[in-house]
Amino acid sequence: MNQKQLSAEPIIEAEGLSVSYGTQTVLDVPSLQVYPNEVLVIIGPNGSGKTTLLLCLTHLIKPATGTVSYRGVTVANNTAVLKLHRRLAAVFQEPLLLSSSVWDNVTLGLRLRKVPRGEIKARTEKWLERFGIRALARRQAKTLSSGEAKRASLARAFVLQPEVLFLDEPFTALDSPTRQALLEDFLSVLRETKVTTVMVTHDRNEALALADRVIVLIDGRIKQTGTPEDVFGSPIDEEVASFVEAGNIMHGVVSSQSGGLALVDVSERHLEVVSDLTAGTKVTIFLHHEDITLLLPLLQTTPSSARNRLTGKVVRVFPIGSQMKVTLDCGFPLVAVITRRSWEELGLRVGETLIASFKASSIHLIPRV
Partner 1 sequence: MDTIINGIVQAFWMLVHGDPQVLQIALLSLLVSGAATMLSLLIGIPLGTVLGLSHFPGRRFLVSLVNTGMGFPPVVVGLVVSIFLWRSGPLGMLHLMYTPWAMVIAQLIISLPVVTGFTLAATQQLDPKLRLQILALGASQVQLVWLLLKEARLPLLAAIMAGFGAVISEVGASMMVGGNIVGQTRVMTTAIVAENSKGDFAYAIALSVILMALVYLVNFILTMVQQRSKTR
Interface with partner 1 (CB under 8 A)? 55, 58, 60, 78, 82, 85-86, 88-90, 92, 94, 96, 98-100, 108-109, 112-113, 140, 156, 160, 166
Give the C-alpha separation, 26 to 46, whole Å: 12
Q: Kindly tell me which of 98 and 299 has the beta carbon lying closer to partner 1.
A: 98
**Please, are residues 354 and 330 in contact by the beta-carbon 8 Å criterion?**
no
Minimum CB distance to partner 1, residue 46 (Å): 16
Minimum CB distance to partner 1, residue 61 (Å): 8
Q: Kindly tell me which of 19 and 330 has the beta carbon lying closer to partner 1.
A: 19
Give the C-alpha separation, 53 to 59, whole Å: 10
Minimum CB distance to partner 1, residue 242 (Å): 30
Give the C-alpha separation, 338 to 92, whole Å: 35
The answer to whether the Cα torsion of 349, 290, 40, 56 is positive or negative is positive
Do β-strands 196-201 and 164-168 pair in parallel, antiparallel, or remain unpaired? parallel
Q: Kindly tell me which of 108 and 346 has the beta carbon lying closer to partner 1.
A: 108
Q: Kindly tell me which of 23 and 99 has the beta carbon lying closer to partner 1.
A: 99
Q: Kindly tell me which of 112 and 135 has the beta carbon lying closer to partner 1.
A: 112
Length of the chain: 369
Minimum CB distance to partner 1, residue 254 (Å): 50
Give the C-alpha separation, 57 to 96, whole Å: 20
Minimum CB distance to partner 1, residue 49 (Å): 16
Minimum CB distance to partner 1, residue 14 (Å): 17
Q: Kindly tell me which of 87 and 121 has the beta carbon lying closer to partner 1.
A: 87
The answer to whether the Cα torsion of 348, 354, 359, 364 is positive or negative is positive
Give the C-alpha separation, 75 to 73, whole Å: 6
**Please, are residues 326 and 196 in contact by the beta-carbon 8 Å criterion?**
no
